[in-house]
């Protein structure tokens, strides 16, 4: 197989990966099995962002558990503590939207890097956007390594309110959203 064909296969695999992540976030349990099939048995999944969004998962079973946990995070209840949140009703929230838009991909040194923006929000309209990247490596047509870097700086998102969210609230939302990206 030519280098161009190999690169095209990797690009298709990454496109499929992001489509399956979207399905996982929308509550389709069948996406878990299809996602894990994209991985080499000895794969490594790394969150290399700023705390609290860090972690290293080695092997197919650890990565499977990560996807299963992310599936369980859909509509996960959260306690927010931001400015002016005194009553339980004001503090209670649930993870609503987690949506990633891939802006560009580039092949560099036999790796494929995807740059993206993710919107994270609660069901009641609080949230933010954050930028980051996925760096994929491959072995025998499967993902052998995935390194995710997430910017530590949240930005404003259309139709979501960042005001009133404290630093700890943003961390809680980030942890719920990035059990898997």
The reported pTM is 0.87
User: 87-131 pLDDT, tens per residue?
Assistant: 777 778 877 888 899 999 999 878 999 999 999 988 888 899 999
pLDDT above 50: residue 71:
yes
- What is the secondary structure of 12-24 as a DSSP string? HHHHHHHHHHHHH
- What the chain holds in terms of domains, given with CATH numbers, is 3-177 (3.10.450.50)
pLDDT above 50: residue 31:
yes
Query: How far apart, in whole angstroms, are the C-alpha atoms of residue 159 and residue 3?
Result: 43
User: 145-161 pLDDT, tens per residue?
Assistant: 999 998 888 899 989 98
Most confident of the ranges 83-87, 88-92, 163-167: 163-167
Residues 123/93, Cβ–Cβ less than 8 Å: yes
Residues 124/93, Cβ–Cβ less than 8 Å: yes
Which pLDDT score is estimated for 54?
A: 78
Query: How far apart, in whole angstroms, are the C-alpha atoms of residue 130 and residue 37?
Result: 28
The number of angstroms, rounded, from the C-alpha of 44 to the middle of its chain's C-alpha atoms is 15
User: 52-61 pLDDT, tens per residue?
Assistant: 667 899 999 9
Per-chain mean pLDDT for the chain = 87
pLDDT above 80: residue 46:
yes
């Amino acid at each position: 197989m030519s280098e161009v064909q190999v690169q095209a296969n990797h690009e298709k695999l990454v496109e499929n990966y992001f489509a399956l992540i979207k399905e996982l976030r929308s509550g389709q349990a069948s996406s878990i099995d299809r996602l894990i099939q994209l991985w080499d048995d000895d794969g490594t999944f790394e969150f290399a962002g700023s705390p609290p969004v860090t972690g290293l998962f080695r092997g197919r079973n650890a990565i499977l558990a990560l996807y299963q946990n992310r599936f369980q995070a859909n509509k996960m209840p959260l306690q927010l503590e931001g400015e002016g949140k005194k009553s339980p009703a004001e503090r209670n929230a649930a993870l609503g939207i987690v949506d990633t838009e891939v802006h560009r991909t580039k092949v560099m040194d036999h790796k494929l890097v995807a740059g993206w923006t993710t919107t994270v929000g609660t069901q009641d309209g609080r949230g933010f956007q954050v930028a980051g990247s996925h760096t994929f490596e491959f072995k025998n047509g499967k993902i052998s390594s995935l390194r995710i870097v997430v910017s530590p700086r949240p930005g404003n998102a259309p139709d979501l309110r960042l005001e009133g969210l404290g630093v700890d609230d943003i961390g809680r939302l980030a942890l719920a959203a990035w059990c898997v990206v």
